[in-house]
Amino acid sequence: MTVTRLRIMHPGERNRETPLSKAGAHRETRDEIIPLSERERSLRTRKSCPKALSQTSGDTSRNTPGRNPAPFLPAPPPPPPIGAAPSANTPPPVRRRDQPRGDLQNDEPIFDLGDCGSNLLLFVAYSWNEEKAFGHKSIDPSDGNTTDNINKAFIRTLQGDALNSLTEAMMENLQLIMRTPAAPESKMPTWVTEGMYAFCYRVMFEAGYLTLFGRDLMGQDAQKALILKKLDNFKEFDKIFPALVAGLPIHVFKTAHHAREKLAEGLRHENLGKRDHMSELVRFLNDMLSTLDDMEKAKTQLAVLWASQANTIPATFWSLFQMMRSPEAMKAATEEVNKTLESAGQKISLEDQPICLNQMQLNDMPVLDSIIKESLRLSSASLNIRTAKEDFTLHLQDGSYNIRKDDIIALYPQLMHLDPEIYPDPLTFKYDRYLDENGKTKTTFYSNGLKLKYYYMPFGSGATICPGRLFAVQEIKQFLILMLSYFELEFVDSNVKCPPLDQSRAGLGVLPPLNDVEFKYKFKHL
């Protein structure tokens, strides 16, 4: 783990096309972690450099003339954002805006910093070792362990026709889980009280696991018991994930290490072979990793499991919580769901066929889309990372910065998501913030009088935008549709307050609540 320099800029600062600079040679920097509270204090008290941290890492002789001192990064940046599939260690390159397409490896698209309206972090010498977190070998094609580009594989198996299959399977599995407690003999529905985050965790993990890795042939009851054990192991492993990202070895955490190995064991080829209806993603990944042994493949599948669950679960919680907390959102969402089901000829019943909506019908639900977007805007805290492939100078409103080859540039979208110029009253949940005056999806947002190309980035952007983002949104939308269709929903405390975000996972994607919120639900009289 290496931690070096940080630069924070005001939203809306624009970059101009820049000549190359002759920056100094690369030098390794020391490891250090500054607690969040220290960082916050330094940001508030630093006078001579109000928009940047004051610490610098060691010798500054590598700074070229005119370079502003580069402050210290308080913690190493995390892996890709919500739902993102694992990628190679090195982030994708930053392309100079005046550079022709096709010069860089894999023909990566332009990442136009000036169109983000976002705060910018500049730092160097970062590498998050995903293999150490999950225990598998590198899946970078250049290392010879895969037969195809991993990112292309995820796009192929998470979008297009493959997305249709995943969406259908997820809808079926969600209803399998949600409708099961409705025993035929239960004449009068009764209220069930549960922590909302615990409920979302349980339902989404089980449905997501079945959708990706298929159903066990041993029967539903045995399958549920097995998945609940996997859920416990997943929670134990995920709990220490920030520490793994910070560079601590997993063997320090014996319980979590054991949980990771148990999860991987269940994903070995011989165990997956006992399951039916596996996703194309899992089958394709097994074939693509042909040079790895069975346990290495299983640990790669574990990385897929983590990527599919770790951010989708808290995103589902926040979407349900914010929707229920707003009477206007509940009313608008319920009306949209009822209208969609009616136009699709779907009848809500616990005894008849499950609800079935196709991709086109799900995509035509702007109210739910807006609720999900607004929930993610308020809770996501990912980093968007690029690596410079050559030396150049970055010109900004408050000065110029020499970027060296292999320096890393990161955008922190949360600062943009909470910018009051882009989003008035940014800390308030507004279910219709992403709806225009006609009730359609709003796509026009401004900063400093300029229309923004990037105004919403919980999934990253450009070449490394999360390949599973479409499926993640559909999962959450399906969950909300079914909750509104089958259940009456209430908070235990009618004056419930919004729980604080768990900042220990800042940078990992969607922040979970620091504490759970109790709610109650019961089946409707259908």
Which residue(s) pair with 387 in the sheet?
Answer: 93, 408
Sign of the Cα pseudo-torsion (323, 324, 326, 331, in order)? positive
- 10 Å CB burial of residue 330 (0-12, 13-18, 19+) is middle
What tokens does 155 get? 């796009």
- CA angle at 199 for the pair 193 and 201, rounded to the nearest 5°: 160
Residue 268's CB: how many other CB atoms inside 10 A?
16
> For residue 380, which of 272, 250, 508 has the smallest C-alpha distance?
508
CB 447 within 8 A of CB 13: no
CB 32 within 8 A of CB 72: yes
One-letter amino acid at 180 equals: T
* 3-state SS, residue 77: coil
> For residue 512, which of 55, 195, 216, 298 has the smallest C-alpha distance?
195
> For residue 246, which of 445, 408, 35 has the smallest C-alpha distance?
35
For 203, 263, 507, the CA distances from 216, given in Å and listed in that order, are 17, 15, 35
CA 282 to chain centre: 20
CB 389 within 8 A of CB 458: no
CA dist 58 and 53 (Å) reads 14
What tokens does 466 get? 């999360």
At what angle are helices 312-325 and 366-379 packed, to 10 degrees?
110
384-388 vs 93-94, strand pairing mode: parallel
CB 179 within 8 A of CB 207: no
Residue 162's CB: how many other CB atoms inside 10 A?
18
Q: Is 498 annotated as a binding residue?
A: no
> For residue 356, which of 346, 365, 348 has the smallest C-alpha distance?
346
Residues annotated within the binding site for heme are 466
Residues annotated within the binding site are 466
